[in-house]
Amino acid sequence: MDAERILDIVQSVSDLQHIRSGKVREIFRFTENILLFVATDRISAFDVVLPTDIPSKGKVLTNISKFWFRETKDICPNHFVSTRPQDFMDLEDDVLEVLAGRSMMVEQMRPIPFECIVRGHLCGSAFREYEKSGTVGGVELPQGLKFGDKIASGPLFTLTTKAETGHDLPVGFEALEAEIGEEDAEVVRKMSQELYQFGQRVARQAGLVLVDTKFEFGYNRRGEVCVMDEMLTPDSSRFWLKSDYLKGNRGDPYDKEFVRQYLVESGWDRNPPAPELPEEIVSETVRRYTLVHDAITKLKL
């Protein structure tokens, strides 16, 4: 679904006020406290929105996030309200058709302006840091670890800034403490690790390895720390196949990394505009995202 069409139709036929275009989501205001998120099929890499859509990706991300928000609400409160806006407002058929499967009503939060990264395995920028200095996010790890190894001491929590423009930068735990206080910073860290560990167990049941992920948190009206945004999706996490992992094949990504790898190999310098994705990369990305979606959401926990 073309993102411009989503905006046009929703704005021309409903009274919803459009408040923001994210790289992936269009955000509308429903009431003072409730937002309507519409996930488009856009994909971004290295903080640039690509000119090529990934068909049905918005629906896949919405449904995976819904699964996790429901299943983890006893671990950590979250912003999820409903994926059925038609239960809350009168919507014309053409708007409903556009929103179906890709919309999520959420409680508006006061965002905590950091990305909370949890890693159960050593890869990506964490592996590069480890190779150079033997540490991840400044924390020393045992010597001799290989790419993709599980981090035996438990999942590592690190933070980056959430830059309005430009790239997110790594920061220490003190930055989070300075922003929200020691007590809440500790809550954010604990929730992140518990959510990751739950996700890791469920992913394993689904035949996947949840390598690492990123969470965003905010405060609800009652001042509680809640998890918001999207959760444990292939846009916000790295997934590998468990069967690959057990055979020692590490790093074939069932997530956005698949697209990043293509872009790196294409020689793109990461400055906008990004190149179009070839059809075979698009269809293989759809296959990989859909596999993760199906494997996770079919589970009866």
Ligand X SMILES: Nc1ncnc2c1ncn2[C@@H]1O[C@H](COP(=O)(O)OP(=O)(O)OP(=O)(O)O)[C@@H](O)[C@H]1O
Handedness of CA 272, 65, 83, 34 (dihedral sign): negative
Q: Given the rule CB under 6 A, which of 106-114, 119-127, 274-282, 288-296 is the region that contacts ligand X? A: 106-114
206 interacts with ligand X by CB under 6 A: no
229 interacts with ligand X by CB under 6 A: yes
122 interacts with ligand X by CB under 6 A: no
Distance CA(236)–CA(138), nearest Å, equals: 23
For residue 17, the minimal CB distance to ligand X (Å) is 15
Distance CA(69)–CA(49), nearest Å, equals: 26
Spatial contact of 162 and 100, defined as CB atoms under 8 Å apart: no
Residue 257: C-alpha distances to residues 41, 85, 120 (Å): 16, 32, 17
> For residues 158 and 160, which CB has a smaller minimum distance to ligand X in the complex?
160
Considering only residues 108, 158, 200, 285, which one is a binding residue for ligand X as defined by CB under 6 A? Answer: 108
Considering only residues 155, 218, 234, 253, which one is a binding residue for ligand X as defined by CB under 6 A? Answer: 218
User: How many residues belong to the site for ligand X (CB under 6 A)?
Assistant: 16
Closest by Cα among 136, 172, 138 to 152: 136
Distance CA(229)–CA(194), nearest Å, equals: 17
Near ligand X in 5-64, by CB under 6 A: 22-25, 27, 35
For residue 226, the minimal CB distance to ligand X (Å) is 8
Please give the backbone phi and psi of residue 210, each rounded to the nearest 5 degrees, phi first.
-90, 105
CB within 8 Å of 249: residues ≥ 6 apart: none
Q: Give me the 124-163 binding string for ligand X, x by CB under 6 A, dash otherwise.
A: ----------------------------------------
> For residues 196 and 215, which CB has a smaller minimum distance to ligand X in the complex?
215
Report the residue number whose CB is nearest to ligand X: 22
216 interacts with ligand X by CB under 6 A: yes
In this structure, which amino acid lies at residue 66?
K
256 interacts with ligand X by CB under 6 A: no
Q: Give me the 63-102 binding string for ligand X, x by CB under 6 A, dash otherwise.
A: ----------------x-----------------------
Handedness of CA 280, 282, 288, 290 (dihedral sign): negative
233 interacts with ligand X by CB under 6 A: no
111 interacts with ligand X by CB under 6 A: yes
For residue 95, the minimal CB distance to ligand X (Å) is 20
Please give the backbone phi and psi of residue 58, each rounded to the nearest 5 degrees, phi first.
-60, -40
Tell the burial category of 124 from Cβ atoms under 10 Å away from its Cβ (0-12, 13-18, 19+): middle
Which stretches of the chain bind ligand X, using CB under 6 A?
22-25, 27, 35, 79, 106-109, 111, 216, 218, 228-229
